[in-house]
Amino acid sequence: MLTNRCEIIVDRPAYQRALRGVIVDPGRCSVGRVRYRETNSGLELIIDDWQAPGSLPNAQLLPPLHSLAVLTSSLDPRINAESLSELLQLERSQLLVGFVLDPHDHSKLDVVVIHQGDRLCPTKIRFIGAGIFNVAAEKLTGSGQPPAGNGNGVGNKDGINATREFHSHRRSRTEGALGRQLYERFASMRLLVIGAGGGGSELARQLCSLNPAWIVTMDGDQVGPENLNALPHASEQDAWDRIPKVHALARVIHANQPDLRLSTVQRSIQQQAGADVLMKQRFDAVFTFIDNDAGRLVASWLCGRHHSHTVHVDVGTLIQFTLGGRRIMRADIRLFEPGRGCVACVPKMANLSRVMDTIAAPRGAMRRGKPRQWNASRAGSLLSLNAMAASLATDLFLSYLDGRIATSHWLRVRWPFGKLPLIRSHNVTGDPECRFCGHSR
């Protein structure tokens, strides 16, 4: 059953362009497109494609089921969030998300959401795209939400103070390194990490150290003796018992961060139960650090197909030897905004038809072609290379979160034997004809 709560998701670059016009010319109006879906916690409203008609639109001239967002700022005190629906002549069947900026104090934003004649309470505004951040409801005027607090007064004062001091010390080094604003932005992130092997577990541990709001780890594999050197958190007994990799990882994270919200999924993203997690839950970013293209492609497609705001960060490493016996290590870290590239087209996936056969085949079915050994295309794996790639992936996402990287991006690492690693970094765009991401461009 639908509640009176909602979450607003705004495309930040488009919103900022509209906002500049409203600030420069009070009385001006911008109108955005609203798409919405019902979730267990209420409505999720996604706003983008801002246009500037100049004056407030007349809702009666719009389709009966139209949904619109209005951003305005006016020196006329009669134009405010309370009066906006009446000024627009909003029909009961229409949906309105109204933003009224204080013309004298631009830090004050009055927000109103009207759906089927009822006023909804926005619990949060999420600004997506480069520089993604969240605004809690208590920081909004007109949100109808009181400041958070338990109000029960339970607990010894000295104990509470000691706990606060403990957590203040705990976060001090990380917050100092990131800066308070970026630290708090990351603290609101909902993340999914697919892969809990040597690379995925290292990536998950680094992301957990930054204290996200929620992190889910997914892997259907179990710990084996061949994994132990790349999984320093796992024991030999774990390998004998063949415990799930996600459980071995969760155990060490919980020991270090007992208050962190961490969930595990002992499934592959290629299984329906694994795919359902990504289809039915909302994540700000999905990280893949796995050794098969089929899983990468499924995750990439689901990010673009079911979420208009979920960033996909794919990480891969490779160690090979040349004919002369020289070792070459490689790593590729790709960050994709929805509709702006995917693992199928940046670069073009060479074995796409084989990957599609793997995805379409029933679980346990025999594969086409000759059997391949695990080391047919790679010599092995090293924790040092995985840790480096995980660090670059974490920093790439932080750069995107902080707005220093504005769009899809690719880091390419080539580490020749006996030399320093070479890193190339550049923005990327997808193929408009890509069957997986081109439709949403």
What pLDDT, in 10s, does the model give residues 270-283? Answer: 999 999 999 888 89
In this predicted structure, the answer to whether residue 187 has a pLDDT above a threshold of 70 is: yes
What's the per-residue H, E or C state across 372-421? CCCCCCCCCCCHHHHHHHHHHHHHHHHHHHCCCCCCCEEEEEEEECCCCC
Give pLDDT tens digits for 241-261.
999 999 999 999 999 998 889
Q: Is the dihedral of CA 251, 252, 253, 254 positive or negative?
A: positive
CA distance 411 to 15: 28
Give the pairing of strands 118-128 and 133-136: antiparallel
Chain CA centroid to CA 217, Å: 14
Q: 5-139, which class in CATH? A: alpha beta
Q: Distance between CA atoms of 309 and 303, rounded to whole angstroms?
A: 8
* Domain boundaries along the sequence of the chain: 5-139, 172-440
Query: Between residues 258 and 388, which one has the greater pLDDT?
Result: 388
Return the exposure string of 394-433: e unless at least 16 CB atoms fall within 10 Å of the residue's CB, then b.
bebbbbbbbbebebbbbbebebeeeeeeeeeeeebebbee
- CATH fold match for the domains 5-139 and 172-440: no
Position 55 scores a pLDDT of 78
Confirm if 428 and 345 have CB atoms less than 8 A apart.
no
**pLDDT value for 76:** 77
Q: Are strands 190-194 and 214-218 parallel, antiparallel or unpaired?
A: parallel
Task: Look at residue 146 in the predicted model and tell me its pLDDT.
Answer: 32
Residues 6+ apart with CB under 8 A from 222: 242, 243, 244, 245
How is residue 97 written in tokens? Answer: 């998300």
Mean pLDDT of 219-225: 95
How far apart CA 81 and CA 85 sit, in angstroms, is 8
The predicted pLDDT at position 116 comes to 85
pLDDT of residue 377: 60
The yes-or-no verdict on residue 148 having pLDDT over 70 is no
Name the nearest CA neighbour of 265 among 318, 214, 226, 229. Answer: 214
Region 336-351 average pLDDT: 89
Looking at 3.40.50.2000, 3.40.50.720, 3.10.180.10, 3.40.50.1010, the CATH number of the domain 172-440 comes to 3.40.50.720
Among 4-13, 195-204, 293-302, 359-368, name the one with the lowest average pLDDT.
Answer: 359-368
The predicted pLDDT at position 371 comes to: 55
Q: What is the mean pLDDT of residues 287-296?
A: 94
- Looking at residues 406-411, what average pLDDT do you find? 93
Report residue 435 as tokens: 């069957």
More confident residue, 91 or 25: 91
Element (H, E) at 133: strand 133-136
| Structure-model confidence comparison of residues 374 and 191, the more confident one | 191
What is the mean predicted confidence (pLDDT) over 282-303?
A: 93
Average pLDDT over every residue of 295-299 = 94
- Give the chain's mean pLDDT: 84
Q: Which of 160-174, 230-244, 270-284, 336-350 is predicted least confidently?
A: 160-174
Reading the block at residue 313, the tokens are: 């960060």
pLDDT of residue 153: 39
Least Cα distance to 183 among 194, 171, 193 occurs for 171
Instruction: Please report the pLDDT score of residue 44 as a whole number.
Output: 86
User: Residue 329's pLDDT is what?
Assistant: 94
142 touches 110 (CB < 8 A): yes
Question: Residue 179 has what pLDDT?
Answer: 93
pLDDT at residue 365, rounded to an integer: 56
Helix (H) or strand (E) holding 292: none
Phi, psi of 348, deg, nearest 5: -60, 125
- Lowest-confidence region among 35-39, 256-260, 387-391, 428-432: 35-39
Name the residue among 344, 346, 340 with its Cα closest to residue 294: 344
pLDDT score for 312: 96
Q: Contact 198/230 with Cβ under 8 angstroms?
A: yes
- Residue 78 vs residue 202, higher pLDDT: 202
Band (pLDDT 50/70/90 cuts) for residue 16 is confident
What proportion of the chain, given as a percentage, has pLDDT over 90?
Answer: 42
Q: Which residues, in sequence order, are CB contacts of 102 under 8 Å at separation 6+?
A: 73, 108, 109, 110
Q: CA 362, 348, 352 angle in degrees (round to 5)?
A: 20
Q: What is the DSSP letter of 75?
A: S
Q: What is the pLDDT of residues 80-114, one digit of tens each?
A: 888 888 888 999 898 999 999 888 777 788 899 99
Higher pLDDT, 324 or 423: 423
Element (H, E) at 256: helix 245-256
